[in-house]
Amino acid sequence: MNNKRKFSKKKLGKNLLIAGIVYLLLALSLFAYNRITDFRAGKFSEKVMEEMSEYIRSENTKKPEQHNQDTDKGIEESRENQAVRFEGYDFIGYLTIEKLSLNLPIMSDWNYDRLNISPCRYSGGVKTSDLVIAGHNYSSHFGNLSYLEKGDIVLYTDFSENTYRYRVELIEVLLPDETEKMSAGKYDLSLFTCNLSGQARVTVRCKKVNLFR
């Protein structure tokens, strides 16, 4: 009996050791995967930002043969709401958060595959003062949103090179099933991402300050 018990204990210990090693390898694999996808997403955003900057410069330096104030205004308003394709995806502008050293292109519409490579418009827009932008918690994207504080400045720039200035008013944490709260309320701009556990959404609420060129 004692030999059987010793054998069982050794077998159990061996199984627990193997399980621990497997768990550790899985954790390391997940960590490596997340770092790789974070790196790739950051490089993708950098590439799109370079193309986007060049596009904005070229579009805003074009000189029409004839100037008509009403026509020019109509063209500008159209461009403010347009989506432009870069690297096979449609984008509506870019976000600048100086405190976090971020310049990020914003895709026009979201799904989980797109979020893997770029922040996306979740709902709303600038003109309707209810723009909501979602991003992964990559360090190259929205991973440091929780470091923002009330009073910090967030900028959003469209393809007419209009820059909208927002001030952070509130940082809150929402549960995954509180999706209706993401686009509800009085805030002109909301940014959100998953926390490290993925069990909640870090949400930054902003109010528009002014518009400058």
Q: Which residue shows structure tokens 């909501």?
A: 132
CA distance 136 to 107: 13
Question: 213 near 195, Cβ under 8 Å?
Answer: no
CA distance 11 to 31: 30
Q: How does pLDDT run across 115-145, given as a tens digit for each residue?
A: 999 999 999 999 899 999 999 999 999 999 9
Note if the pTM is more than 0.85.
no
Nearest to 102 by CA among 191, 171, 172: 191
Band (pLDDT 50/70/90 cuts) for residue 74 is very low
Q: Which domains are present in the chain?
A: 16-212 (2.40.260.10)
CA distance 93 to 37: 23
Tell me what the mean pLDDT of segment 26-37 comes to.
65
